Copies of this chain bind each other. A is one copy, B any other.
Amino acid sequence: MAEQPLYRQIAEDLRQKIESGAVARGSQLPTELELREQHNASRNTIRDAVKWLITRSLVETRPGQGTFVVEKIDPYVTELSSGSGGGESAVYESEVAAQSRTPRTTVPRVEVQQAWGVIAAELGLAEGSMVVSRHQQRFIDDRLWSLQTSFYPMRFLEQGATRLIQAENMQPGAVKYIADTLGVEEVGYRDTITVRSPDMNETTLFGLPSDGRVAVVEIFRTGLDDHGKPIRLTATVFTADRNKFVIRSQAPTTVADSATPGLRAVGSDND
């Protein structure tokens, strides 16, 4: 058994103290100079140990303040199998309200752009086809919770669904609007879930640590009509550290006995 490097030994010692509760969550660790004396090592070695703890999300450093044990976060639960739901944002608002938190959604940023890669592939369009994209930021308790971008083929616009390019919230949902306007109904969908590192934009928006150790979960939902033809693609990005996802194989008709609180629809209060 090879001996562990010194910085690992120090890191393990600190980790043990954290996980055993000897050092409380949220409390401050000794400063680098104090740890230097306690462990009889150089400051750089202490810093290597702290870095090891940082990559494991056990501690965080705040310049000018110190090193702190990270708080435990109870993940927000997102239901992916919202079978009968109408419009993701409606589901979102009622679900968020059910967990007694305050939802907020920005006014969509609407663009017409070309579809490449996954977007074109999922929508069944040729590379470079024009699509309408509607981008929103969704907040919970004034903290950014998810980034959502929906893409719609340009043909819907040409066929008369002109509200798709208006930068305003579509209350019953854009999918319902397309159904009402064009008679194209979404009867199913396909979700693809991937985990990846955040890009720079996501890092700043979510306020993630700049070293990119916190992953994001990206969920592509492709809505399908009764011929299995794609109607829309909605890409939603969540931080991986404070979200989890639940899928039910059948409609939750008997939710009553579950631990899930009843869904209280929130009145569309403000903007």
Contact = CB atoms under 8 A, between A and B. Distances in A.
Nearest to A86: B267
Given A195-B240, A215-B195, A253-B228, A266 B190 contact: no
A213 B55 contact: yes
Given A195-B217, A257-B228, A265-B185, A247 B212 contact: no
Interface residues of A, number: 62
A85 B266 CA distance: 6
A251 to B, nearest CB: 7
Q: Name the residue in A191, A195, A213, A215 with the highest tally of chain B Cβ atoms < 10 Å from its Cβ.
A: A195
Interface string A225-259: 01010000000000011001111111101100110
The oligomer's copy count stands at 2
Interface stretch (A76-84, A103-111, A131-139): A76-84
29 contacts: A55-B212, A55-B213, A75-B194, A84-B264, A84-B266, A84-B269, A85-B266, A86-B266, A86-B269, A90-B271, A94-B271, A175-B267, A176-B266, A179-B266, A186-B266, A190-B248, A191-B247, A192-B245, A193-B244, A193-B245, A194-B244, A195-B217, A195-B240, A195-B244, A228-B253, A228-B254, A228-B258, A251-B264, A263-B271
